[in-house]
Structure 1
Amino acid sequence: MSNTISSAIATRDTGPGALIAQHRGDIELVMPSHMQKRVGAWIRTTQGLLRRNEKLLEAAQNDPGQFMAVLMDAANLGLVPGTEQYYLVPRWNKKKRATEVTGVRGYQGEIELMYRAGAVSSVIVEVVYENDRFEYRPGRDERPLHEIDWDSVDRGELRLAYAYAVMKDGATSKVVVLNRGHIAKAMAKSESANGKYPHLSPWSTDTEAMWLKTAAHRLTKWVPTSAEYIREQLRARADVAAEQGSTTVPTTAALPQPLEDDPDDDVIEAELVDGEAVA
């Protein structure tokens, strides 16, 4: 076997892709139970991303520990790296004077976590372009009116992003409406958007998706986003049952609809970025 081939095999066996496979057990352990059966596909998707993105591979090689920490975060959330659920982005570390991998949760990831908590029946997250019709007046409208001319070749520039959830009892969550100013503030706080490689940031490669993510993330202040919410409810019910001497163990189906006892679970007025109605 030539030295070149031997070197290539050594690099393959000790590189970030191999490191992911070596930690399969750890990844599977922290994943939500519904994801554990798909851990193989999860790993292959991540390995494929490294093969297609040289900058990302370089960043992962520079700091494998940081790379695995990011992957473990994605696994713990039950999100797939390298997708609109969870972006993997190279960023410049000034202290190390080298690139490293950082994780950026995408809008689909935010939505997935809301659904998984079990409190919502649907989540609506949309962007509004200049030529769209958009109306929402807090206190008058339960939900925004958004009309799009689908025949239009050009809908104009991005103007707004909004998000709300319909709870399982039919109530509407807080409606979040963000304008360009709020999106700009969110982008200004992004390390990936303001680092050495801003062109690799999802703010540059997938701008609309990051507007959606910003609105979805703001909505998470008002909507449960973790399956742990359900588990906590089950544990609380089990504790109560034990204290009462009941032999019946509560199940998820026996739980009340989440938030039904919350006085703010009725229609909540929107968070408006300008403090007035948007039209």
Structure 2
Amino acid sequence: MAVKNEGKLTSKLQDKAKGTNVAPPTPAQTIGAYLQKMAPEIEKALPKHMDVDRLTRISLTTIRTNPALMNCSMPSLLGAVMQAAQLGLEPGLLGHCYIIPYGKEATFIIGYKGMIDLARRSGNIKSIYAHPVYENDEFSYKYGLNPDLQHTPAMKERGEFIGAYAVAHFNDGGYQFEFMPKEEIEKRKLRSKSYSKGPWQTDYEEMAMKTVVRHMFKFLPISIEVMQSMAQDETVRKDITSEPKSVYSDEIEAEGVFAEDIRMDEPAPAGKQPEGEEDELAKVAKEFDEGKL
């Protein structure tokens, strides 16, 4: 055994003498090192109930499970993670938010559970929820002076998906509900830059419910801060010190299309970053560009 180990050591020394180095780090390892380097800055953005180690670990797992994200720019990847941190949402399986590739940029998308969580933070909403509706369910609704919604899910074979609804109960006893048929959900889905990939393909029902909840936001008693947070849905940070930019900006500037929905996607102007944080982010970005990370 000693001879065998000695042989391995000799081989390693010979490789070193020949100038043979360990294989270069994989993209995942590089991203992991980058996230670790930025952990102190990410931690500053986190709410008290979230742990930076857990967030960076979940974020790295999310990136690893989508190979296309490996081709995105590093600043945009970190920017998406920072957005998740600032909003107190976890990317991945829980459905709070998603990080998906949009060209070479990582796009931050709020999920259904994330939308619900943001709405609850307003303090004026007692409860908020959404449900999908299928063709074999018992379902009826009406608007007007006496709005009413009734839904009894079928116990077996619910049939095809036909729509989704959302309900919000306010602290003062009032309520608001919205129903959206599948046809309308599909129209709004096609407006999304990520309709052919990401959560629209893996979590269709949740994205359908999110679409209804987002549409209902304009009728809810929620704070400006919550609206600004929700406005970060489907945005990209071109670099780690820039503000989130809607992926729909070009369409808005060129044609003004889909104004009803896109207006809510535009990120509100954010305040200046804490003193010293912007410099630290820029420093790390420079180190990465120079190959020091």
Matches within 5 A, 1:251-270: none
TM-fit CA distance, 1:184:
1.6
TM-fit CA distance, 1:6:
2.1
Q: Measure the CA separation in 1 of the matches of 2:126 and 2:47.
A: 20
TM-score (norm 1): 0.67
Aligned equivalent of 2:165 = 162
Aligned equivalent of 2:134 = 129
Aligned residues: 209
Aligned partner letter, 2:113: Q
Aligned partner letter, 2:175: T
Moved more, 216-225 or 73-82: 216-225
Aligned equivalent of 1:52 = 65
TM-score (norm 2): 0.64
Classify 1:172/1:4 alpha carbon distance in 2 versus 1 (closer, same or farther; 3 Å): farther
1:64 to 2:69 alignment: no
Are 1:12 and 1:18, in contact at CA under 8 Å, matched by a contact in 2?
no
Q: Measure the CA separation in 1 of the matches of 2:144 and 2:21.
A: 69
How big is the alpha-carbon RMSD for the aligned residues of Structure 1 and Structure 2? 2.4
Are 2:62 and 2:99, in contact at CA under 8 Å, matched by a contact in 1?
no
Q: Measure the CA separation in 2 of the matches of 1:27 and 1:115.
A: 24
Q: Residues 144-181 of structure 1: CA distance to partner in whole angstroms, max 9, x if unpaired?
A: 1101122x1x21111111112111122113x2111123
1:7 aligns with one of 23, 26, 30 = 23
Q: Residues 212-265 of structure 1: CA distance to partner in whole angstroms, max 9, x if unpaired?
A: 110111122122556947xxxxxxxxxxxxxxxxxxxxxxxxxxxxxxxxxxxx
Aligned equivalent of 1:91 = 102
Aligned equivalent of 1:188 = 190
Aligned partner letter, 1:6: V
- Aligned partner of residue 89 in structure 1, secondary structure: strand
Aligned equivalent of 1:176 = 178
Q: Measure the CA separation in 2 of the matches of 1:86 and 1:223.
A: 21
Aligned partner letter, 2:129: I
Structure 1 residue runs of 4 or more that deviate by more than 3 Å after TM superposition: 1-5, 10-14, 139-143, 224-229
Aligned equivalent of 2:38 = 23
Q: Measure the CA separation in 1 of the matches of 2:20 and 2:222.
A: 50
Q: Measure the CA separation in 2 of the matches of 1:190 and 1:171.
A: 32
Q: Measure the CA separation in 2 of the matches of 1:42 and 1:124.
A: 25
Aligned equivalent of 2:251 = none
- Aligned partner of residue 23 in structure 2, secondary structure: helix
Aligned equivalent of 1:148 = 153
- Aligned partner of residue 42 in structure 2, secondary structure: helix
Q: Measure the CA separation in 2 of the matches of 1:13 and 1:202.
A: 22
Aligned partner letter, 1:121: K
Q: Residues 8-62 of structure 1: CA distance to partner in whole angstroms, max 9, x if unpaired?
A: 4x44796112212211122122223333xx2221111111223333222x23xx3
Aligned partner letter, 1:162: Y
Are 2:28 and 2:64, in contact at CA under 8 Å, matched by a contact in 1?
no
Q: Percent identity?
A: 33
Structure 1 or 2, whichever has the larger Rg, is: 2
Q: Measure the CA separation in 1 of the matches of 2:209 and 2:20.
A: 47
- Aligned partner of residue 23 in structure 1, secondary structure: helix
TM-fit CA distance, 1:205:
1.3
Q: Structure 1: which 5+ residue stretches go unaligned?
A: 93-98, 230-279
Aligned equivalent of 2:121 = 116
- Aligned partner of residue 159 in structure 2, secondary structure: coil
Classify 1:55/1:12 alpha carbon distance in 2 versus 1 (closer, same or farther; 3 Å): closer
Q: Residues 96-152 of structure 1: CA distance to partner in whole angstroms, max 9, x if unpaired?
A: xxx3321211100000001122111111211111111111112365541101122x1
